[in-house]
Amino acid sequence: MTGPRNLESRTKHIKETWGKHCHKMLYMSSVKTDFPTVELNVSEGRENLYWKTIRALQYLHQHHLDEASWFLKADDDTYVVVENLRYILSKLDPEEPLYLGRRFSPFISQGYMSGGAGYVLSKEALRRFVKGFHTGDCTHFSEIEDMALGKCMEKMKVKPVDTRDVKGRQTFHPYPLDHYVIRQLPRRRPWHMIYDYYTPIEGPNCCSDFAVSFHYIYAVQQYVLEYFTYHLRPYGYTYRFRP
């Protein structure tokens, strides 16, 4: 998800970093450009974010449904470790109605996935989302994009997946790493941890070694994370594969 004013400041840096690791990357905007971007029939602005998501998912369903098994929605300030995402998805069936991300708890009984951390729909979940708007089971009832989409997922019986690793550490993150690794002062817990569906872990053991995403990652930080993820290795250290 992007917009005309963010192409130079944000989106081009995604294209040069983690976007290269995707099987297929589409940049959804309100304007068609040579970047390239897909023009959606929607205005820019936070108040139109859910409309933009609806139109983007409808576009995917119409033009790209048979090109992929899983569909990731990410903002233009999110960093994604695509290989770790593929690892999580490799154990799941895309023909099942599944929905993955950082699970929040309020407002919806089964919870919903954080928009900032990015979320994934299986092929069947995408089908059901589009069907929900045809049947009227899903509507644009709120400007809060991730919560509204989560309500549609619940109505269409799309199941949320627990994306924590075997140690209970989170893989999708709606904030940069420092918000989790460093215990925040004062002791008052930040809102995103209050919203967590599962009891959050703070400190050095907060996050999975196979983390998938971090949000609010801009320009320079995209390249820093790309370097740390794909190039930096401690000499003489043998890593034990334990997701």
User: Tokens 């809102």 map to which residue?
Assistant: 191
- 3-class SS at 11? helix
Nearest-5° angle of CA 52, CA 27, CA 104?
55
225, 191 contact by CB (below 8 A): no
Alpha helical stretches, state H, 140-218? 145-155, 178-181, 191-194
Residue 88 burial (CB count, 10 A): 20
* Angstrom distance (rounded) from CA 203 to CA 206: 5
Count of other CB atoms within 10 angstroms of residue 147:
20
Angle, CA 169 vertex, CA 194 and CA 144 arms, to 5°? 40
Contact yes or no for 55/149 (Cβ under 8 A)? no
The pLDDT of residue 40 is 95
Q: What end-to-end distance do the CA atoms of the chain give, in Å?
A: 29
pLDDT for 191 equals: 66
pLDDT value, residue 193: 73
User: In this structure, what is the dihedral angle of CA atoms 162, 166, 172, 176, given to the nearest 10 degrees?
Assistant: 150
Q: Which of 90, 94, 86 is nearest to 128 (CA)?
A: 94
Pick the CATH number of 4-230 from 3.90.550, 1.10.260, 1.10.3470, 3.30.60: 3.90.550
Strand pairing class (70-73; 119-122) = antiparallel
Sorted by where each begins, the domain ranges of the chain are 4-230
91 SS3 class: coil
CB atoms within 10 A of CB 217: 26
Tokens of 130: 């589009």
List the pLDDT tens digit at each of the 243 positions of the chain. Answer: 999 999 999 999 999 999 999 999 999 999 999 999 999 989 988 888 999 999 999 999 999 999 999 999 999 999 999 999 999 999 999 999 999 999 999 889 999 999 999 999 999 999 999 999 999 999 999 999 999 999 999 999 999 999 999 999 999 999 999 888 886 655 555 666 788 999 888 888 889 999 999 999 999 999 999 999 999 988 887 766 555
Question: How far is 163 from 20, CA to CA, in rounded Å?
Answer: 23
SS3 state at 27: coil
| Cut 0.85: pTM above it | yes
What is the rounded distance in angstroms from the CA atom of residue 76 to the CA atom of residue 28?
10
CA distance 65 to 122: 10
